Amino acid sequence: MMIRTGDPRRLGVPSSEARLHFDTEPQELGVGPRRRLLIVDDEPAFELSFYCGTCPLLFRRLETSREKLSLESMQARLRGPLDDPDDGGVVEAFGGLLSEGEYLPLLLDVEPRLVIPGKEGDYFSVEQVTAWGIDQFWGLPEYPHTPYYRTFETAVDADAHLYEFVVPMVPPRGTRENGSRSTSRSWSGERPPRRWRSPRWTYASPPSAWQKTQPRTGA
């Protein structure tokens, strides 16, 4: 549920200084498109689909994804609910981790539902197979290599559906002292806290492609 929308604003630092940014592997002459990546601290963290409009959704955790983007200075503030995206300087603080661009802060109230890849409720095993079929090379559904949370979904029109996911940067090994308060027990099948009230930053260029293809990535 949408609680409040902030004003679009410029956030972030130059891409070379940002802890988190998106990039594409260099393409060699005569070779097809390479992987699109989420980079954290100069290491590839997730492989992502290209937002071409004809590509199936993909977020796949890579072996080099070992770092969280939690900020110690924000831990106490995020243990309680926010009433506005700008409460306690949260947007500016986390905006400093991102590459420079125009962002739209949103404050959402979501009820996350834990999904284990290949088990009940897995988007890649159900909805994506229905829409796109299985991977033509492997003969299997896509595999994200990480548990994740499903939150919001809705029909956009007769031929389109929007799905939203919360994807942790690093699967927890024990109790996490942060706003989401996930525990290792949660990942073995227990439900997480009933609701999260959390900020989200939507990259505004190009907004339509971004909002339709990108999962939210949990810090």
Q: What is the DSSP letter of 25?
A: P
Two tokens, residue 49:
């689909």
In a domain? residue 82: yes
Looking at the 3D structure of the chain, how many domains does it have? 1
Q: What is the dihedral of CA 6, 48, 58, 184, to 10 degrees?
A: -80
**Residue 38 maps to a domain:** no
pLDDT at 137 over 80: yes
Which pTM does this prediction carry? 0.72
Q: Is residue 151 part of a domain?
A: yes
What span, in angstroms and rounded, lies between the C-alpha atoms of 130 and 124? 9
The answer to whether residue 22 sits within a structural domain is no
In angstroms, rounded to a whole number, what is the distance separating the alpha carbons of residues 106 and 199? 6
Half-sphere exposure of residue 49: CA atoms within 13 angstroms, side-chain side: 18
Classify residue 55: in a domain, yes or no.
no
Which range of residues forms the domain containing residue 117? 2-9+68-218
What's the distance, CA 11 to chain centroid? 18
The model's pLDDT over 87-127, given as tens digits with 9 standing for 90+, comes to 888 888 888 999 999 998 888 888 889 999 999 999 999 99
Which of these, 194, 149, 153, lies nearest to 172 by C-alpha position? 149
List phi, psi (to 5°) of 180: -85, -20
Is 29 a domain residue?
no
- Which among 126, 105, 64, 66 has a CA at the least distance from the CA of 216? 105
Most confident range (mean pLDDT) of 25-29, 137-141, 143-147 is 143-147
- 32 within some domain: no
Strands 160-168 and 196-203: unpaired
pLDDT in tens, 4-18: 888 888 999 998 899
List pLDDT tens digits, range 163-210. Answer: 889 898 887 554 343 333 333 333 444 444 445 555 555 444 333 333
Q: Answer whether residue 52 is part of any domain.
A: no
pLDDT score of 209: 34
**What's the mean per-residue pLDDT of the chain?**
77
CB atoms within 10 A of CB 175: 12
